[in-house]
Amino acid sequence: MMAPSGVSMKSIVILISGRGSNMEAIVRAGAPGARVAAVISNRADAAGLAFAAKAGVSTDVVAHTDYAGRACFDAALQAAIDAHDPDLVVLAGFMRVLGADFVRHYEGRLLNIHPSLLPAFPGLHTHRRALAAGVRVHGATVHFVTPELDGGPVVIQAAVPVLPGDSEDSLAARVLAEEHRIYPQAVRWFVEERLTIVGGACVEVAGVRPACFALHLPPLDTE
């Protein structure tokens, strides 16, 4: 995708650990004025690498098992990312906890997607926990990454109903479909320079009202 005349093309690096379905959604959606410069995985067998290569995106592997500790791995990963001079780094199912120094290096340009309506259910096993809690609404959140796990400023959320008889798998599938909608949207807003972090906690999206609120509500289908 070409940038408008006189405007530099923004570079995006996406990190994955597995199939990379959110990475695929972002690559397929595209964003005017930006290009996915690279997809990097911590696992050589990550299925998403094949899709990225077929799409003409550079791929790389920085295997966490090759390093003695998290600090060494983070440093190697940072070097691989910075080789592409990214404007934005996107975590798309990247299953490694990143250290505070790494996160601060990409402050304001590191996005993650989490399968819950944060601040509810941070961490792992979100769908199981949502079902156990008996909530009627679940969803997904795109947020800027901070050293606090799943605690960064929220960019956009998508809500889905929790239906009678839902299993972890059925609920996860409903949430994932919305992840594929909102993550490309968040990336596009970033590329368009419409996101402003206010007070370290709130993200204002230019053109979206009210301020500090961006929620995608899919049609309710209970059949």
Tell me which residues are annotated as active site: 114
The token pair at 221 is: 């289908």
Q: Is 40 exposed, middle or buried (0-12, 13-18, 19+ CB in 10 A)?
A: buried
> What element of type H or E holds 24?
helix 21-29
* 31/118 Cα distance (integer angstroms): 26
Distance between start and end Cα atoms, the chain: 39
Q: CA 97, CA 69: separation in Å to the nearest integer?
A: 12
- Cβ contact 18:95 at 8 Å: yes
Count of CA atoms in the C-beta half-sphere (13 A) of 210: 1
Angle made by CA atoms 14, 16, 21, in degrees to the nearest 5: 90
Q: Give the Cα separation of 26 and 179 in Å (integer).
A: 10
Which candidate, 43, 40, 85, 37, places its Cα nearest to that of 63? 43
